[in-house]
């Protein structure tokens, strides 16, 4: 496989095709207003990425309900006041020929207590100050995810990605560590995955037939064994109600120590999933064309860039002009990040990443 294969188009079962295999990973950035409305900084940043050549531009995690707010400056998609800014984002992404997506999110028990007094999750956790949801509340949160997708569609986005990674609400339901319910949403893996699949089915039912649905999952920590995650994804791929799976790992080369897959990379564990029409991609410290090609050669259909995009929002165009291009070495100074269009809030967030922003 050659570097130019990164620029081959990729069709999805629904909606517009991708012009390349290079996608923007959803990036937390603290850039929106306190009420969740989109800021000028957010519009400018996402437009830079669309103009920079990413074939799909996905927003940061957009909060589907105030009870799920996890970050300062988090985008909101739970109220009609958010629509105007969301429309601007969808429009600027489309104007540069990229496919647009909103990542829909609820923090669950990981919601930020600075913003959420009554933190909720699948089950009670008195030591963490978390209240278990009632059955009616579970169904309400499910419906909030579906309503958020409808709002994204109304704003003009091509699709949404359901954020079921990093221990956020849908993953909390999957985990027997955090989900100790005894009703239809707890117990067996089939019951623990019910919430996620009802969200997906509800979006598919309520949105137009060509609306794209992606699913992000993470493969480490947060109480979901790889064997169970494999079963969940096998079902998602088999049922074909989603269009792509986004495998989020901290490092694409990392090897698992979890039996029965010990010694394999996390990504390779999932490359023998039944593929059907569902595309599979990955993110995780992929910083140049050589690494991206290796991910495709390993069995992925596309690659998502986060760190590389943060450093260079025109990273795809740079790769197209020079296949040997390397992302700048870390750490980088604040002045450099400002030159690439990052706002002060975005830079402050990146300071929470060890070794990313150089000390002044």
Q: Which residues fall within 8 angstroms of residue 143, CB to CB, at 6 or more apart?
A: 202
CATH label, 3-327, candidates 1.10.230.10, 3.20.20.70, 3.40.630.40, 3.40.50.300 = 3.20.20.70
Burial 324-356 (b: 16+ CB within 10 A, else e): ebebeeebbebeebeebbbbebbbbbbeeeeeb
* Cβ atoms of residues 52 and 39 within 8 Å: no
The two beta strands, 212-218 and 279-283, are: unpaired
95-116 pLDDT per residue, tens: 999 999 999 999 999 999 999 9
Rounded Cα distance between 188 and 185, Å, is 9
pLDDT of residue 275: 83
Q: In Å, how far are 1, 41, 204, 307, 350 from 287, measured between CA atoms?
A: 18, 25, 34, 7, 17
Q: State the sign of the Cα–Cα–Cα–Cα dihedral 233, 236, 238, 240.
A: negative
pTM: 0.97
Cis peptide before 202 (omega within 30 of 0): no
pLDDT of residue 161: 99
pLDDT of residue 2: 85
Torsion of CA 2, 315, 15, 272, to 10 degrees: 50
Q: What is the chain's pLDDT, residue by residue, as a tens digit (360 residues)?
A: 788 899 999 999 999 999 999 999 999 999 999 999 999 999 999 999 999 999 999 999 999 999 999 999 999 999 999 999 999 999 999 999 999 999 999 999 999 999 999 999 999 998 899 999 999 999 999 999 999 999 999 999 999 999 999 999 999 999 999 999 999 999 999 999 999 999 999 999 999 999 999 999 999 989 899 999 999 999 999 999 999 999 999 999 999 999 999 999 999 999 999 889 999 999 999 999 999 999 999 999 999 999 999 999 999 999 999 999 999 999 999 999 999 999 999 999 999 999 999 987
Domain segments of the chain: what residues?
Answer: 3-327
pLDDT of residue 202: 99
pLDDT of residue 360: 72
């Amino acid at each position: 496989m050659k570097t130019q294969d990164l620029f081959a188009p990729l069709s999805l079962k629904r909606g517009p095709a991708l012009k390349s295999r290079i996608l923007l990973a959803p990036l937390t950035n603290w850039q929106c207003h306190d009420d969740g409305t989109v800021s000028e900084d957010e519009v400018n940043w996402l437009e830079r990425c669309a103009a920079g050549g990413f074939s799909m531009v996905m927003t940061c995690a957009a909060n589907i309900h105030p009870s799920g707010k996890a970050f300062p400056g988090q985008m909101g998609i739970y109220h009609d006041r958010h629509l105007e800014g969301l429309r601007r984002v969808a429009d600027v992404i489309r104007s540069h020929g990229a496919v647009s997506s909103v990542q829909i999110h609820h923090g669950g028990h990981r919601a930020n207590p600075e913003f959420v007094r009554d933190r909720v999750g699948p089950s009670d956790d008195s030591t963490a100050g978390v209240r278990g949801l009632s059955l009616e509340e579970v169904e309400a949160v499910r419906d909030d995810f579906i309503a958020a997708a409808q709002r994204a569609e109304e704003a003009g986005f091509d699709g949404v990605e359901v954020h079921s990674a990093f221990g956020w609400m849908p993953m909390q339901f999957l985990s027997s560590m955090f989900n100790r319910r005894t009703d239809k949403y707890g117990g067996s893996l089939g019951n623990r995955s019910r919430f996620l699949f009802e969200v997906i089915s509800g979006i598919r039912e309520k949105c137009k037939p060509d609306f794209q649905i992606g699913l992000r999952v993470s493969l480490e920590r947060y109480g979901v064994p790889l064997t169970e995650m494999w079963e969940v994804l096998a079902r998602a791929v088999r049922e074909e109600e989603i269009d792509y799976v986004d495998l989020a790992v901290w490092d694409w080369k990392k090897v698992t120590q979890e039996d029965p897959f010990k010694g394999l990379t996390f990504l390779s564990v999932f490359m023998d999933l039944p593929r059907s029409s569902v595309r599979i991609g990955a993110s995780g410290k992929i910083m140049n064309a050589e690494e991206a090609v290796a991910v495709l050669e390993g069995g992925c259909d596309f690659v998502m860039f986060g760190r590389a995009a943060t450093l260079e929002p025109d990273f795809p165009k740079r790769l197209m002009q020079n296949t040997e291009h390397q992302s700048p070495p870390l750490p980088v100074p604040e002045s450099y990040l400002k030159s690439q269009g990052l706002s002060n809030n975005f830079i402050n967030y990146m300071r929470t990443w060890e070794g990313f922003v150089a000390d002044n």
